[in-house]
Structure 1
Amino acid sequence: FTATINGTLQKMVGAVDKNGFYYAFNRASLSSGPVWSKQIAGAGACPQCGQGSISSAVWDGSRIFVAGGTTSINGASCGGSVRALDPATGIFLWETCLPKTVMGAISEVPGVIALVDGANLTLINTGSGAKLFNYSAHLYGTPSISNGVLYVGSTTNQLYAFGM
């Protein structure tokens, strides 16, 4: 992703860690350490138990979307969460509480991110963080979106397809 920092456009790279933090680095100076970091979830060695984060983030050209395990948002306990971050500062633009942890990567099409939290497929508005759609089945993994169709697999050997 890119970010304008101190008036200069920087090429960046980011990563989540089981310690619950998302780290943003300047690609030209990785050894300098993170430009910024933001806690996304509580730390722990068991992501499937809701600890830390192993979900790859996604960038829509202006915001970074990061998901993880157990956390609290505005005093509410969350089994998982997804957050929009400013790529230059890491400031949360919005935060959405989810019932379960997000294990797979987030998928994005203009205006919508898709993720699986627990066994639920959840679609979220990228501008506001509002939940647009939820489907509960024995889902697992990362949703894939192609030609206006969202695909997601299940633990019961089913492939689900949803028109976007």
Structure 2
Amino acid sequence: MATATFAAGCFWQPEVIFRNTDGVTDTRVGYIGGQTETPSYEQVCTGRTGHAEAVEVTFDPDKVSYDQLLEIFWECHDPTQKNRQGPDVGTQYRSAIFVHDEAQREAAERSRDDRQRRLRATIQTEIQPAATFWPAEQYHQQYLQKRGLATCKI
């Protein structure tokens, strides 16, 4: 098994998309990229912790490649938005790829550059080393599924 971590705005919708991908064995939503230990949702929402809402994806590389997960990441949000997705505004909603090793970094940069060639607007996605992933509160885990919703896209 391998791990990938993506921030694509609010974590609820990307979690559903990744969880429903063949080869993905687990997903968790949470916070990454900030300086506060064990941040709460309320703290992250202030914008002062530096964290992004993100999805940690556990996957079987024999069934789904990291490159395929990157394609899903690019398709499930607008990477040209800086610190926002739709009505959600703030640094916690930024677009970011948190890489777990050099191979992921190279793949993410190659994928970003390929995607940029297809877009007019500039991609704002950050590519950073993965740091501590703090799982979000239990009520955020599989949030849409628990409420019988398939999507929260606008």
Q: Same fold (TM over 0.5)?
A: no
Structure whose CA Rg is larger: 1
TM norm structure 1: 0.24
Structure with higher helix content = 2
Structure with the larger RCO, 1 or 2 (CA within 8 Å, 6+ apart): 2
TM norm structure 2: 0.25
Structure with higher strand content = 1
